[in-house]
Amino acid sequence: MTQNGHATIAATNGGVEMTNPIKSKILLKVEDGYPRDTARGIIRIDYDSMDALGISTGDIVEITGKRTTLVACRPVYPSDDGKGIVRTDKIVQNNAQVSTGNSVTIRKAEKNISNYVIVLPLQPIPHGMETYLKDALNSVPIVTGDEIAVRYFGKLVYFKVIKAYPGGVVYDRWTEFLIKQNKKSGGKA
């Protein structure tokens, strides 16, 4: 049995049971994410794909189109099981530079914790956003150059990740966080 509770295919070779090896990467077709997953920094794939990569729900994975970004992995809904797809929102698609219908490579990533993150607001930010943003991004994968969004009173507020150190990391409550002033968009620090 795997971590996900699904049996692996076993074959015998001279009486010794062998299971399929874990793959370093898989190729899946991109489909739009479920509406509830918008701005969560996740992808959804089926359990067979998770098992093939040796990952579980919540693990951090790389998704690579023309560019690589990091996301947390969740299972697809049963209606999508076995279709060979990855569901993700337009934010992740833009960060990976792919579109619906394109193929992407998925591989397991290390969960490194960032020491500091600097973001630039891409629009004016509401009063009180600084404190809220730090809480909203807890455990979210962040990569330098990505655009991220957080829900704030029902609306999405967008930011560009200027620097995440070390690169390709997960933000947590110990990470030092800075919102850089953006005079052009009216954002504030």
Whether residue 57 is contained in a domain is answered as yes
Nearest partner of 161 among 88, 98, 69, judged by Cα: 69
Exposure b/e, 6-38, CB count within 10 A at least 16 = b: eeeeeeeeeeeeeeeeeeeebebebbbbbeebb
The pLDDT assigned to 22 comes to 83
- Would you say residue 1 has pLDDT above 60? no
Query: Are 74 and 45 within one domain?
Result: yes
Domain presence at residue 19: no
Among 15-29, 67-81, 151-165, the minimum mean pLDDT is found in 15-29
Residue 77 within any structural domain of the chain: yes
126/76 same-domain check: no
**C-alpha distance from residue 42 to each of 3, 47, 63 (Å):** 19, 15, 10
d(CA 45, CA 174): 30
Domain end (from 108, 124, 151): 108
Same domain, 166 and 102: no
Per the structure, how many domains does the chain have? 2
Q: What is the CATH number of the domain that holds 57?
A: 2.40.40.20
- pLDDT of the residue at 101: 97
pLDDT for position 3: 45
Residues 30 and 104 in one domain: yes
| 149 and 76 both lie in a single domain | no
CATH number at residue 170: 3.10.330.10
Same domain, 103 and 145: no
58 and 87: one domain?
Answer: yes
Alpha carbon 141 to chain centroid, angstroms: 6
- In which domain, by residue range, is 123 found? 116-179
The answer to whether residues 130 and 90 belong to one domain is no
pTM value is 0.82
Q: Are 100 and 139 found together in one domain? A: no
Is residue 12 one of the residues assigned to a domain?
no
Last residue of a domain, one of 84, 108, 132: 108
With CA atoms as reference, report the closest residue to 174 among 138, 133, 129, 123. 138
- Tokens 């990740």, located at residue: 161
pLDDT over 50 (residue 6): no
Taking alpha carbons only, the member of 164, 158, 187 closest to residue 177 is 164
Whether 188 is covered by a domain: the verdict is: no
Tell me the pLDDT tens digit for each residue of 89-109: 999 999 999 999 999 999 999
